[in-house]
Each structure stands twice: as C-alpha cells, then as structure tokens.
Amino acid sequence: MEYDTQTRAVDDLHRAVSTCKDDEKIADGKAIVERLTKLKYELQHNRPLTPLLDDGRRDVADYNRELNALASPTWFDVSWLYAECYLYRRISSFFALSTHWKSYDVFARQKLSTFVSSRPAVLELAAKYKQLINQLKDNVPHTNTPEETEDAEKLLFSEMCEICLWGNATDLSLLTALSYEDIQKLQGAEARKTQEKNILVNDLPAAYRTLKTAQNTDPKGERRVDIVLDNAGFELFVDLILAGYLLEAGLATQIILHPKSIPWFVSDVVPADFASLLNALANPQALYAAPPEGSDEAPAPLSNQEVTDLSFLFEHWSSLHQEGQLILRPNLFWTAPGSYWRLPSSAPDLYEDLKKSELVFFKGDLNYRKLAGDARWAPTVPFGDAIGPMGPSSGIRILALRTCKADTVVGLPTGEDERLKGMDGGGGDTGARKWAWSGKWAVVQFCDGKA
C-alpha cells in the first residue's frame, strides 16, 4: 500500500487552495486536507476501515456491504484489491461531499505533466499519424499485390497495438509508406526483435483476424470496438492514435472508450482527461512552450510544422467524437471493489452492451488483474479459464494488453515462469515472481467469447 498517494493529494490540494480568493472555498478545501491527512494516519497505523459516507453515488452501498462482510478489517488485514479500491473511493467521497470541490481531480495536474514530459514522442507520433491517416483517407496503395497489402495491414495493426502496450514511440519510422521492403526491414529490426522477445504471449494475429473477418463479412455494416482505458497523459494519447487508426483503416466503424467515473489509482483516465487532452492539442504552443513548473527557462517553441501536426490530431479526433464514431462511456462498475468476474451479475446492462462489440481491449495491469480475479493462478492456466465468466461462451471477445507489474499472470508456456525467475533479479532465489514487477515483460492475450 503506497502512502504517497495521500501525500501527493494533500500537496496538490494545498496548492489549489493557496490560489483561491473565496474564504468559503478555502475553508472547504482545508477541511478536505484534514480528511486526507486523517486517512493517511489510519493507513499508516493499521486502523480499521470505516464505512463510506453516503455521497450520493450508487456504489456506496456495495462498498459498505462488502466491508461489513469482511468484518471491518484493518488496512493490513484485507486483500490488496479491496484496500486499494476502497482508498481511492474514499478519497473521492471527500470531494463529492464538499461544497466547492465536487468536480476537482486532485491528480489532474500530475496526469497532464506526464503528457508534457513526453513531448518528443508526442511530436514524432503526431507527424507519423497525420501522414498515415491522410494515406488511408486517400486510399494510397502501399504495395503491389494483395498478399503484400495483407502483410502491411497486419504489421501496421501490430505496431499500433504494441505502441499502446508499451506506451512509447518505439519503431515509428516505418509506420507510413509501408512497402514490402519496409515490412522486411521492420520485421528484421533489432529493436523490434528485442521488444517482441519481451512479449511472453502475443495473440495480436488472432485479434487482427477477428477484426478483418468482420470487415470482410460486412464491410458496410456497423462494427464496434471497445477500449477499457488505463492511464491518462501520453498513454491516452496513444490509445486515441489506435482508435483513429482502427476507424480510418475500416477495422471498426465506432470506438467506445471506457474511462473511470472518479479519479482512480492516480493516473487512470476520467472523462475530463479526454477534454483536457483535446484542449492541449487545440493550443499546443501554450502547453509546450510554457516554462516547466519551478523554472523560469522556457523550452524551445514548437515549429510551425509541429503545431500543424498537433492541430491535425485535435481536428481529427474532435470530428470523430462529434460524429459519434468516438464515444466516451463511463460506468461505476469500473471503480467497483471486486474483480471483473462479477460483471454479469453486478452490471448486467454493461455486460450485455459489451457483447455488441467485435472486440474489447482491456488496457493495463489493474484491468488484467481484475479480469483474472487477482488470484494466485498457476502461470500456465489458460487465459480463458482465468477470466472465468468473461471467458469462453461469455459472448465477449477480449484482448488484454498488459505490461506485467504484479504477480498475477496466466497463459504462459510451461517452464517460462521458471526461466524468468532464474534470470538475474527474477526472484528465483526468493521464490517470488520478481520478474513480473518491473513492467519489462508483457502479455497480449485474446479470448474469443463468441466462438
């Protein structure tokens, strides 16, 4: 359990309160600071978890019912999953019960700063994305034969998904003008080989076949793809890169984005983060040419071409959003305290809605852990078995994109966990699965619940 969550929240709110002029708002903010400080004390001293106060949201009863069933545990005597979810839900209640700070996101400043600090990758991706989208709009052929075209499309899909997986801008130079020679170069690139070696299970080909089959079967029909989001900032930026590509490539006709309803695990996307990102792209010079916090030295201003590239993204994504092709659809279920095994019974409307999707992406470590029940599975247990009612016969096709940052991992080949534990720092000397803590390794796992 990290204590710095409350510390960062207190520091951010202190700064926000210090800029206020309204005495009532200042007093309201200071009261929230006191509650955050008290919460930190309770956690550090292993006090019992207390029922959430009714802040008007429907999920309060669910949290309190589960807390009662756990017999009012202390912080160190309850499952990690419930404790962490409870922590962020309780922080949210402090703001929801206030008068002047109801919509304030105490983590928003930090989320935007990650986007600002990713300037080089943002600019490179923006330029490549603009070229790619214009090629797709103009239907510019990349290759000479259907086989080469198919190879190019498969590789492009994989590259887009892997950028989302790692949240970085690796191997972007060949994303556009993919000739057959370019494909061979990219497939043989050492950086790509190294990156792919770190994907322990890679089901991207199966996911691509699913979307391509749907496109070929009903090219003029509605074909929806959902993305259960993870982090804001640069990661949301690359998620939108993927969404825009899927739409322009015809692999989807509508993208549903699933953000959290409340500030969650510090960096998770809430609807306001989408608006914040678009606003930043609408006026990128103001964002990127401003001096960093605590410094008087401004970075170099963006070039006219860089501003043009970023403005293109703003116009493209805004247009997709306005036309109903790119939709945000939050749901309280995503911030519930339990695993996604509960989806069919706890949120039946959401469960039925996800069945309408051709493919549902689940991004990130927490979504993966919730899919697998955050259980201590043997690492060779099939992914479809570990996700229980979300697996085979669920009616939902799932693709999990996850860099490993916790012990829970499934679907590995026999002997792979042992091999990784035997590496330097892998945990073999302690029996712990330390290799899965750093984010160096990843899994991309598909389950066809419609089969």
**Arithmetic mean of pLDDT, 436-449:** 96
Among residues 408, 412, 416, 414, the alpha carbon closest in space to that of 437 is found at 408
CB-CB contact of 284 with 311 (8 Å): yes
Alpha carbons 195 and 312: distance in angstroms, whole number:
30
Residue 194 has a pLDDT of 67
Return contacts of 77-83, CB within 8 angstroms, 24+ apart. 77/46, 78/49, 79/374, 80/1, 80/374, 81/337, 81/338, 81/339, 81/369, 81/370, 81/374, 82/337, 82/338, 83/1, 83/49
> Does the pLDDT at position 213 exceed 90?
yes
Predicted pLDDT at 143: 55
Q: How confident is the model at residue 150 (pLDDT cuts 50, 70, 90)?
A: confident
pLDDT of residue 184: 46
Mean pLDDT of the chain: 91
pLDDT of 228 higher than 60: yes
The predicted structure's pLDDT at residue 121? 87
Q: What is the dihedral of CA 150, 155, 157, 162, to 10 degrees?
A: 170
pLDDT for the residue numbered 126: 94
Tens-digit pLDDT profile for residues 251-269: 999 999 999 999 999 999 9
Name every residue whose Cβ is closer than 8 Å to that of residue 232 and which is 6 or more positions away in sequence. 111, 112, 114, 115, 267, 268, 269, 270, 273, 277
Q: Are 387 and 340 in contact (CB under 8 A)?
A: yes
**Confidence band, pLDDT 50/70/90 cuts, at residue 11:** very high
Which of 288, 261, 281 lies closest to 272 in space, CA to CA?
261
Q: Which letter does DSSP use for residue 314 in this model?
A: H
What is the per-residue pLDDT for 166? Answer: 87
* pLDDT more than 90, % of the chain: 79
Closest-CA residue to 337 (of 16, 92, 25): 92
Listed range (128-142, 165-179, 332-346, 409-423) with the worst mean pLDDT = 165-179
pTM of the model: 0.94
Residues 168-185 have pLDDT tens digits of 533 333 344 444 445 444
Q: Note the pLDDT of residue 144.
A: 66
Provide the residue count of the chain.
Answer: 451
pLDDT digits (tens, 9 = 90+) for 29-82: 999 999 999 999 999 999 999 999 999 999 999 999 999 999 989 999 999 999
Q: What is the C-alpha R_g of the chain?
A: 23
Q: How far is CA 77 from CA 58, 195, 199, 237, 264, in A?
A: 26, 39, 34, 38, 22
Name residues whose C-beta falls within 8 Å of residue 100's C-beta, 6 or more positions apart in sequence: 22, 24, 25, 28, 29
How far apart, in whole angstroms, are the C-alpha atoms of residue 18 and residue 6? 18
